[in-house]
A and B are shown apart, each in its own frame.
Chain A
């Protein structure tokens, strides 16, 4: 009897979960084996044909590479900043609550709004970056229109947006460290930097790994800013995998190919989930 109740309670959530997570995930895989149907040519089975075109698609490799650089450029920087912020905010700092609030505020803002604000910094000539550059006699530069700087500009913004979010995990971890450790170190005459390097940082390792995996997963989902700042351009220089999926599906209407790209994204996310799971298993993650 209790078993029936259990399933009854579960049913409404289960229907929606299957309908919008499990079924579409399987359907994505299935659709990636067919061609995109048009009015004159209906969809037909092509086996791994879409995957073959994926391997030959230079834009796919470019956005995958961008995703890699995007992750490499944003994650270590935001983690280092987050740690620094947490250590500062954990100290008895004048106006500590205000400082903490300043660091965390970008987290609650929508990516679209953030991109709107940052767009101005990068605008040629009247933008803040060019105005500062002009003080030092630098020539005006089209930051978002230059393939060499576009991706880096989006990365700077994402670091600003994410560091404060990661800070709160470090802050919680710092507050759970035994204060005796620092007292003991002080009595031994250890310098602050030495104490950080040999005691605090190793003890925070579980938090660092935890933040690292989550930040990597996030880096595949963060694309909202591209709609405002660069539209993935110029020449896909700042585009990311999920944004490319959006373009292929909703601008080029090639849904079968978009499904194939989605499968790649799902495989990447699943791989990260395995890493995450192993971290939890080894109990190195923050609790």
Chain B
């Protein structure tokens, strides 16, 4: 994102800022409601007293600590499994010749289109047969072999010069040694991009976790937040805002710190 480009006319600058403000306003409003007592939730008075009561209430009204632990466990488990499985499969597709390779690759790409959440009915049935309903493993398992990850790593591994691999093999490296010492270190930017997308995706994922979990012990943040924020739960506005901010805070802070990486990773994920 270079510094190139023309200087924008004044009117357009104003319009761009206005749109930016409009775009941030739901979030800004949530911060307002969360940090002020209930009577100021719908009154925007500049000198309204600040308070963190809403956060304290949200923290106790819903089992947020448990949801946090569940989400962190889910995200960590899914990402570690994805990194291992996709590295192995991406390496196989990039550097090995075997019968049926192209057909197999085509079959992998099918998952780019049919994500597990589209097949909720059958996947639920499979999970109950495996006895994994209401487990964190059950939430993560369908996502662990990620077509996107395999595709991304295959493309990256293909750009590694063969000479590097040959040199390592002359030094006596095994297949796994070559993968670990040559390919993985060279693919570090790809791993970072993939990791950001995967973590954001699973931190935010909702439909499948909702279906497969039914107790507090396994529900991730999004599912907890949906129950907490439902209009029939009767919690007041500031408390819901506070809960929502807590749930998105880790990801939001990470995004604000690593904006450029986030945007580039999301773009790669979109392009595939």
Contact = CB atoms under 8 A, between A and B. Distances in A.
A99 B20 contact: yes
Nearest to B204: A110
B92 A6 contact: yes
Interface string B229-272: 11100000100110110011001100110010011001100110
A17 B7 contact: no
A227 B98 contact: no
A22 B110 contact: yes
Contacts of B116: 20-21
Query: Which of the four size classes fits the interface of chain A?
Result: 35 or more
A121 B19 CA distance: 18
B164 interface: no
A249 B210 CA distance: 13
Interface string A100-119: 11111111111111111111
B121 A12 contact: no
A202 interface: no
Given A91-B5, A93-B8, A227-B210, A22 B107 contact: yes
Contacts of B255: 105, 108
B56 interface: no
Interface string A72-92: 000000000000110011111
A118 B29 CA distance: 10
Interface in A128-170: 128, 131, 160, 164-165, 168-169
Interface residues of B, number: 96
A209 interface: no
A227 B206 contact: yes
Interface stretch (A44-52, A54-62, A171-179): A171-179
Given A20-B123, A88-B16, A25 B114 contact: yes
Interface stretch (B47-55, B138-146, B184-192): B138-146
B69 interface: no
A212 interface: no
A2 B96 contact: yes
A9 B229 contact: no
A105 to B, nearest CB: 7
B118 A266 contact: yes
A189 interface: no
Q: Is the interface of B mostly helix, strand, loop or mixed?
A: helix
Contacts of B165: none
B89 interface: yes
A120 B145 CA distance: 38
B85 interface: yes
Nearest to A231: B230
B207 A90 contact: no
A265 B119 CA distance: 10
Nearest to A157: B26
A125 to B, nearest CB: 10
Contacts of B45: none
Contact of B248 (A94, A109, A266): A109
Q: Which of B5, B93, B150 has the most CB of A within 10 A?
A: B5
B211 A246 contact: yes
B167 interface: no
A110 B222 contact: yes
Contact of A214 (B92, B115, B270): B270
A21 B119 contact: yes
A126 to B, nearest CB: 5
B198 to A, nearest CB: 13
A190 interface: no
B171 interface: no
B120 A249 contact: yes
A13 B23 CA distance: 40
B250 to A, nearest CB: 11
Nearest to A272: B113
A64 interface: no
Interface string A247-262: 0011000010011001
Contacts of A7: 92, 98
Interface in B181-201: 200
Contact of A108 (B92, B200, B222): B200
Contacts of B113: 217, 269-270, 272-273
Contacts of B97: 2-3, 6
Given A7-B98, A10-B93, A160-B26, 13 more contacts: A2-B98, A9-B96, A28-B119, A98-B20, A100-B263, A102-B23, A103-B20, A105-B255, A109-B27, A111-B206, A172-B267, A221-B117, A272-B113
5 contacts: A102-B20, A112-B226, A128-B29, A160-B26, A171-B1
Q: Would you list the 5 A-B pairs with minimal beta carbon distance, nearest first?
A: A6-B96, A110-B204, A24-B122, A16-B145, A102-B20
